[in-house]
Amino acid sequence: MTATSYKNGLLQMENVPLQRIAQKHGTPVYCYSTRQLADNFHAYQTALSDIMPEDKFTICYACKANSNQAILHLLGMLGAGADVVSGGEMYRAFKAGVTHDKMVFSGVGKTADEIVKAVRNDILQINVESEPELNLVSTLAAKESSAKAHIALRVNPDVDANTHEKITTGRSGNKFGIDIKAAPALYRRARDMAGLAPTGVAVHIGSQLMDLAPFAEAFKRVAELVNELRQQGNIITTVDLGGGLGVPYRGETPPDIKKYAGLIRDIILPLNVHVILEPGRSIAADAGVLLTRVRYIKESGDKRFLIVDAGMNDLARPALYDAYHAIMPCGEPAKGAVMTAYDVVGPVCETSDTFRTGAELPRIDPDALLAIMTAGAYGASMASNYNTRPLPAEVLVSDEQFDLIRPAQKIEDIAAADVIPDWLA
């Protein structure tokens, strides 16, 4: 993580020692680097600008990775749009300043209210994922506006992304998208349906891909589909290629964005379409860390546990996906320090509340501050109040300054949302 490293004996994000943030805002606390977010977005922008004019592509950041409005606003200032999967994300993105012409609405379970909001705001594209959804969008769009809603059918190309079972989305049998073989017939129907302009094709085969081969296979199938659709009289002007580029959680070599862009150049550009991308994790993940403090050090048999104040409710990925996150002391270890194996666990009443098993760390003292790395994506956005634990604060760092972008939740706020009915009282 280039924005977070040891300087003068302390782990720093940009030019802020992480200990300063913990001292001011407590722990657990999420910290994000403005510079890393910008660098990651610019990497996509540059790679695509090298192969096509800037008015031929739109980068719609996948809000589900991290939907804090400060991050959406920052990326919007840099030129990003938003890929949203709920009415809540749509609301946040608009509130953060994302414009309607750079917004894509994805997701398999859109409600009527969400669809109406998308139609009324005339967003760039609604990615339709089933025939029943297509019928509903048509009905609602025809009632709402004289203009037609621009839609893409999200096709399922039956490509194995070779990623974790729970984050693959492009295989036959996954809940996402429409069987690519059934797509031509559905486009023929959509072309004549009220309220619709079926001008796009969308695909998304999964998340955390470390190999470009599945992308190449999916893109080729999409290109074949576009050509078939045009032959049957459809006007296809956009292709949404989704997201999914992996990030190095444990030192892996991530896919080269320029080579990824090369696939787009070779396979998709000959179609003469507007290209939409939906990166999320690869923009936010390595820009964030979760700071946590050691509460207790416990020995049990041959096990040494570091019991920290962050829990699986704050960062669910290890419990959900057996995901790996590096853990670093916020004080730089001495050269040649003897390493000890620790199980780093949280206070939640679940055995799955474990961040790392057998983490090799230098000797850790009680109250030590640790950083759980590469936590900017699917960290705060998936956090919950399990065990009535307040959501952690979030902080944005820029060079030598840092500001709170979401305060830590209070227990009183959680309890205040409960209502005891009169008949029970």
Annotation says 63 is catalytic: no
Buried b (16+ CB within 10 A) or exposed e, 64-102: bbbbbbbbbbbbbeeebbbbbbbbebbebbbebebeeeb
Structure tokens at 385: 């109040």
The letter for the amino acid at 90 is M
| Residue 111 DSSP label | -
Helix (H) or strand (E) holding 35: helix 34-49
The whole-angstrom separation of Cα 110 and Cα 113 is 8
Partners of residue 103 on adjacent β-strands: 82
| Residue 209 DSSP label | B
For residue 306, how far is the Cα from the chain centroid?
29
| DSSP-derived 3-state class of residue 276 | strand
Q: Which of the following is catalytic: 31, 60, 63, 349?
A: 349
Asked if 60 and 276 touch (Cβ cutoff 8 Å), the reply is yes
Catalytic annotation, residues: 349
